Amino acid sequence: MALDRITLAAFRNHRASTIDGTGQFNLLVGENGAGKTNVLEAISLFAPGRGLRRAALTDMAASNGPGGFTVSARLTQPDGAEPVALGTGTEPAQPGRRLVQINGAPASAVSLGEWLALTWLTPAMDRLFADSAGARRRYIDRLALALDPGHARAAARHEAALRERNRLLSGPHDPDPRWLDAVEAQLAQAGAALAQGRARLVTRLSAELAALPEEPFARPLLAYAPGGPLEEDALAEALAAGRRRDRAAQRTLTGPQRDELEVTMAGKGQPAALCSTGEQKAMLIAITLAHAALAAGERPGLLLLDEVAAHLDPRRRGALFERLRSGKAQIWLTGTELAPFAEIREEAACWRVTAGEVERV
């Protein structure tokens, strides 16, 4: 199964671009600013969430366009089954509201996760290990979502209940205990589901990483550090017990909003945040490959790699291509020139991107 016949209309700098005849390896080559990453971002919208840039929908519409945008694609299926038509975008009248269609029928963004499992790695993620705990929570939630589309619902419910509890705690008057009871019941239910989903993800990723050789990419050791109990009843009890403390802090101090993903480099026993930038990049690639392997086992997998090959030496680049070749995911790579992709050029579909226009080469 593969994504094919991808069209972008009024999406960032792409007025009308079509990509057809895709393969396992797909190369987008062009100068910086030509619109290569924009294509990857458009493809990433076939997953629930905000895409690989986490941009607002209004920022995705072309500045000189009608005010909305559309991205569509055909998901081919094995054994001659009819392809699945996927589409998403916005309308000029409501540029901040995302619309989704599957086979021409309206659908939710979460339902896209039932058809595709997307993984991506971009240069902006290079600082993940030195970034905030919140950035790492968003990272593991995105990885969990690719394996379990229901994870998005738990995250949304938890965020809504947490916002309400914090509003009550920060008000001018002591909140009604009965109202807190009701809100905390919702928060504990959603929080336990969210935390357990994160814990399952880290466990599965750790097992996949353990099966990979340490060379040529560094092997990261992952640990999930929960910010509260993982079980619903225990979390509800912790929330009730912490009301006085949380009231003084005017925010909730127990629960998955305090979770942390701890990453250590195997062999050195050193926290990832203290490793070199090269070691951090190698660990990110290892996690990305492990997650792509897990995701492809669930549903058709897509792996989007933005400007990855150019930053690897020939040995690591060759090892990356070999692992990608042996996997089940469809691969999309970007670069400023074809030279780094010489090893896979003959087996890859390739397009040159120039000022928002895409041409097959």
Q: Express each pLDDT in 216-252 by its tens digit.
A: 788 899 999 999 999 999 999 999 999 999 999 999 9
pLDDT tens digits, 48-98: 989 999 999 999 999 888 999 999 999 998 777 899 999 999 999 999 999
Give the mean pLDDT of the chain.
94
Q: How far apart are CA 14 and CA 77, in angstroms?
A: 28
Instruction: Please report, rounded to a whole number, the percentage of residues in the chain having pLDDT higher than 90.
Output: 83
- Does the 135-298 domain belong in CATH 1.20.1050.90? yes
Q: Which pLDDT tens digit goes with each residue over 312-353?
A: 888 889 989 998 998 889 999 999 999 999 999 999 999 999
Residue 213 binned pLDDT confidence (cut-offs 50, 70, 90)? confident
Read off the pTM.
Answer: 0.91
Concatenating the DSSP letter of every residue in 278-333 gives HHHHHHHHHHHHHHHHHHHTTS-EEEEESS-GGGS-HHHHHHHHHHHHHSSSEEEE
Average pLDDT over residues 134-148: 95
Per-residue pLDDT reduced to its tens digit, 248-295: 999 999 999 999 999 999 988 999 999 998 889 889 999 999 999 898
Q: What is the per-residue pLDDT across 150-172, written as a single tens digit (0 to 9) for each?
A: 999 999 999 999 999 999 999 99
Check whether 214 has a pLDDT greater than 70: no
Amino acid identity of residue 211, one-letter, is: A
Q: Provide long-range contacts, Cβ within 8 A and 24+ apart, for 239-246.
A: 239/165, 239/184, 239/187, 239/188, 240/180, 240/181, 240/184, 243/169, 243/180, 246/169
The pLDDT value given to residue 304: 96
At 293, list the tokens.
């392997």
Class of the CATH domain delimited by 1-116+300-361: alpha beta
pLDDT over 80 (residue 212): no
Query: What distance in Å separates the CA atoms of residue 42 and residue 61, rounded to the nearest whole number?
Result: 11
Distance CA 182, CA 129 (A): 37
Domain ranges across the chain = 1-116+300-361, 135-298
Q: What letter does residue 61 receive in the DSSP assignment?
A: B
- The pair of structure tokens assigned to 261 is 């993903």
How many helical (H) and strand (E) elements, i.e. helices and strands, does the chain have? Answer: 9, 15
**Residue 3 pLDDT level (bands cut at 50, 70, 90):** very high
Q: Are 222 and 128 in contact (CB under 8 A)?
A: no
